[in-house]
Homo-oligomer: A and B are copies of this chain.
Amino acid sequence: MFNSLGNILKLTTFGESHGLGIGGVIDGFPAGVEVDLDAVQKELDRRKPGQSKIVTQRKEPDTVEFFSGIFEGKTTGTSIGFVIKNTNQKSKDYNHNTNVYRPSHADFTYDKKYGIRDYRGGGRSSARETANWVVAGALAKQLIASINIDINAFTSSVGDIFMEKPYQDLDFSKTESNIVRCPDAESAEKMITRIQQIKKEGDTIGGTITCVAQNIPVGLGEPIFNKLHAALGQAMLSINAVKGFEFGSGFCGAKMKGSEHNDIFKADGTTESNLSGGVQGGISNGMDVYFRVAFKPVATIMQNQQTINSEGELTEIHGKGRHDPCVVPRAVPIVEALTALVLADFYLLNRTRKI
């Protein structure tokens, strides 16, 4: 209800950025799946800090340890427990925040909601939590790879620099070939320059990620209150800094006419266009599922800002520590991980829907 995602395949997580570590339990993972734990670690490495000059320079190894649920290289059907130890805690970086509320952070709301707050590194509101999701998502990817589902996310904009090509014209194998994770080299270069510039200003910048899931079988998604796109939206809106979600035609679709927007069937059941984004009535129709996620700029900036402390006194704050100038490059594997978790969950759920 609070720290769990999913219906059948359910991830439950814990951890603050400055305790012993973070981790989680993956419940409902089916038995008999061969798992490649090196591939899990590789996904984690895609997310980790310090990987390039345009992300935070913190160094955290982020090594995952599996405690259970995997035996002789296969899942056993029992819950999979895992832990990622915290190893690079610089609590002193945060001492100045003990009772000062960082603007557009969760400090104020956590304090008011709970009456107590682990202020070190943002505590539970830290994006460090997303490492847990990447671990679980990496296993989910392996599960749905067995039915050939393929998920590719990439940076589609940084600030006002947009990669305008339709995703069909992209070579997803190029996504990892640059540090901003945009498969279009030309756009990538502009984005990287933009992020470096913003970093120099001590500022941060927003962006968007597009995700494309392919080879989805027809029938995933539960109509009414568990529509496939609604579950994806809920998952994406759970990522720190996300402000919007659209799938298929999205907000553009709201300007269109029905005669333009309808996806006309071909004889084989596929459609000529795919403004539906691969989902009709909440259920996948076999076409590509694609969506776009908006990330606001990171709230911690290296500039002076007015704020208040827990006593309600006005004060000033100036970002310290090592923060991302743009969250989007490191969020690409997070978007993929959550997509994999949702799709794997709906794949399992769908097994129960027909006699």
Instruction: List the interface of chain A (C-beta within 8 A of B).
Output: 1-5, 7-8, 10, 12-16, 19-25, 27-28, 30-33, 65-69, 71, 74-81, 83, 101, 103-106, 108-110, 112-118, 123-125, 129, 143, 146, 157, 159-160, 198, 201, 203-208, 218-219, 221-227, 229-231, 233-235, 237-238, 243-251, 253-269, 271, 275-277, 280-285, 294-301, 303, 305-308, 312-314, 348-355
| Chain B residue at smallest Cβ distance from A16 | B68
Beyond A5-B225, A67-B83, A243-B248, 14 additional pairs, beta carbon < 8 A: A1-B226, A14-B69, A24-B25, A103-B265, A157-B255, A201-B257, A204-B257, A243-B247, A243-B250, A246-B251, A246-B294, A251-B294, A256-B296, A267-B308
Copies in the complex: 4
**By the criterion CB–CB under 8 Å, are A350 and B113 in contact?**
yes
A254 and B295 in contact, given A237-B230, A312-B267 (Cβ under 8 angstroms): yes
Chain B residues with CB under 8 A of A198: 257
Complex partner residue of A355 from B12, B143, B262, CB under 8 angstroms: B143
A265 and B106 in contact, given A28-B352, A114-B76, A234-B230 (Cβ under 8 angstroms): no
Complex partner residue of A297 from B77, B203, B257, CB under 8 angstroms: B257
**By the criterion CB–CB under 8 Å, are A1 and B12 in contact?**
no
**By the criterion CB–CB under 8 Å, are A243 and B277 in contact?**
yes
Chain B residues with CB under 8 A of A235: 230
Listed A/B pairs (13) with beta-carbon separation below 8 Å? A2-B225, A3-B224, A12-B12, A71-B123, A104-B261, A104-B262, A198-B257, A207-B254, A230-B235, A243-B250, A244-B253, A254-B294, A258-B297
Chain B residues with CB under 8 A of A14: 25, 67-69, 78-81
